Amino acid sequence: MNSKYKQLLQPFQFENGVQLKNRIVMAPMTNFSSNEDGTVTKAETDYYSRRSGGPGMVITACAYVTPSGKGFPGEFGSDIDDMIPSLKQLAESIKEKGAKAIMQIFHGGRMVPAELVPGGNVVSASDVPAEQGHPSGEAPVPRALTIDEIHSIIDDFGESTRRAIQAGFDGVEIHGANGYLIQQFVSPHSNRREDEFGGSLEKRLAFPLAVVDSVKKAAAEFGDKNFLVGYRFSPEEPETPGITMEDTLALVDALKEKNLDYLHISLMEYWSAPRRGIDDTRSRLEIIQERIGDSVPLIGVGSIYTPEDAVKAMNTGVPLIALGRELIIDPDWVQKIEEGREDKIETRLDKQAQDRLVVPDPLWQAIINTPGWFPVKE
């Protein structure tokens, strides 16, 4: 192994004693490949197994915690106990290769396609449609959740955590990023409520913090001290009014007090700079890492393809680096570094290599038919 990459392969220990074999994490990525009933397919377990021999930790695609939160065709579910055997197969496919298995849990809120949820009933913090990025093209106007429904969804996150524990996962990641329901409560664009869950920034943070409490309570009740709980967030959003860096730093300050095992930022570009809300020219990730300090580990992510990219990213002080697209392009990324074969790492997708890369057909078709999403070998 080349000594300049040594820091990427150092073991990492969480505060609760759980150890990862290295600093590389597989980022959560939707793969559109589950059965219609929300159970996991063999194509998915094969896909995860193929990528779980290198990273220290693998975070799965998101699992909906209740049917009203299903955000993608071919998304797997964690909403009922009948899903536990299916989830167990997924956890085992990751763990048997030596990685820790983390299940991401999620509710899509106003970003779900109406045809995927019962009765076409799209819900959110308020009845404000998404401005951009809705998978249906024209965004539906969501129905504002009632207080009772909000509390029910908070409980659903806890129940999904219990199922993850019973399925043998090593942890869960709360999906509070990418414009989905938890972020919708934080955002002044999607949350226009005037009750305990909206209005001031403090009240807009009430829902995500209650979800964290629900998940932590389930982890304590049904798991052991080794069960990991992480939280993923997006630092900003483009809408006006929308989440600013100032809002995100307040969220981070609140999450620091929750005794989480890690925080995970969601970025397409590691070095992207703030849009608004703060007078600082550094990257968002560096600003957030400084704010967090040593209080909780931060996972950095965003267009990291080469070992040099990863080392440069780690030099910002972030202890863990997540790879998403790159582990689809080259599932043996970590092993090639370990073996001193980093010159053999592929950083552009070979469009003829679906079978070799073990990528399920729905995900492969999405990649091939979305120009610009992946760097492609011409």
Residues catalogued as catalytic: 180
Q: How buried is residue 194: exposed, middle or buried, by Cβ count under 10 Å (0-12/13-18/19+)?
A: exposed
130 neighbors 108 (Cβ within 8 angstroms):
no
Q: What angle do CA 266, 268, 272 make, to 5 degrees?
A: 95
Query: C-alpha angle 151/157/163, rounded to 5°?
Result: 135
221, two tokens? 């009740």
Rg over alpha carbons for the chain, rounded to the nearest Å, is 19
Task: Report the 3 state secondary structure along 323-336.
Answer: ECHHHHHCCCHHHH
Of 81, 91, 94, 105, whose CA–CA distance to 54 is shortest? 94
Distance CA 102, CA 88 (A): 12
Q: Using CA atoms, how far apart are residues 234 and 176, in angstroms rounded to an integer? A: 7
